[in-house]
Amino acid sequence: GIQVEQSPPDLILQEGANSTLRCNFSDSVNNLQWFHQNPWGQLINLFYIPSGTKQNGRLSATTVATERYSLLYISSSQTTDSGVYFCAVGSDYKLSFGAGTTVTVRA
Amino acid sequence: GAVVSQHPSWVICKSGTSVKIECRSLDFQATTMFWYRQFPKQSLMLMATSNEGSKATYEQGVEKDKFLINHASLTLSTLTVTSAHPEDSSFYICSAPGRGGTEAFFGQGTRLTVV
């Protein structure tokens, strides 16, 4: 199956800082999504981005499909950004998840 | 985005009993839904693909007789954990493709504790 590697595994930020999360994957895919898992376990859709660049407020993402990686940018981080960020890739809606990046934003 | 609803959000059951978890797509029809499992501090692992009107397809290592999946309508898939044991305690979460077919949306998940 497709291998998905996320880095770093843990990230501690001071409020207001910027950060970059990376996702590498081992094969061509037609679906790549970024999620934020809240403390209750729900997966919040951040981006559907099999290629290209998107922005939504303080978050943006870029996927370079030919080089099999994606980046998630968090700017001006807030304490509410804390949680686990997952990258998931696959064919259509059948997804393989990375191990996640645990982000802690300190006030 | 699409809305996928799971019920119950959490359940505690005794060892040896069976538990049914429902996954509904509220505003669209889903011929295919997916079931994932997440152990504490770990990532999500795909368990099976639920197909409306036909048998589910299971990932390698997932016992189909233990995790029964039924997809009887275009808006409902159910996962039944049969003869549950403490090692089945986990977070179970379903997904379905949204309207327009561009991305997957997830239910809120079900936390199962077997005592």
Give the tens place of pLDDT for each residue, A5-60.
999 999 999 999 999 999 999 999 999 999 999 888 999 999 999 999 999 999 99
Residues A33, B97: C-beta atoms closer than 8 Å: no
Give the tens place of pLDDT for each residue, A77-90.
999 999 999 999 99
Percentage above 90 pLDDT, chain A: 93
Q: Which of A6, A25, A43, A85 to mutate to test the interface with B (most CBs of B within 10 A)?
A: A43
Quickly list DSSP for B5-74: EEE-SEEEE-TT--EEEEEEESSS--SEEEEEEE-TTS-EEEEEEEETTS--EE-TT--TTTEEEEEEET
Distance, CA of A43 to CA of A27 (rounded, Å):
24
Supply the pLDDT for residue B30.
87
Distance, CA of B65 to CA of B10 (rounded, Å):
22
* Regions of chain B short of the pLDDT cut 70: 1-2, 100-102
Which residue in B103, B86, B91, B107 sits closest to B23, CA to CA?
Answer: B107
- Residue B104 distance to chain A (closest CA, Å): 5
| Chain B touched by A83 (CB under 8 Å) | no
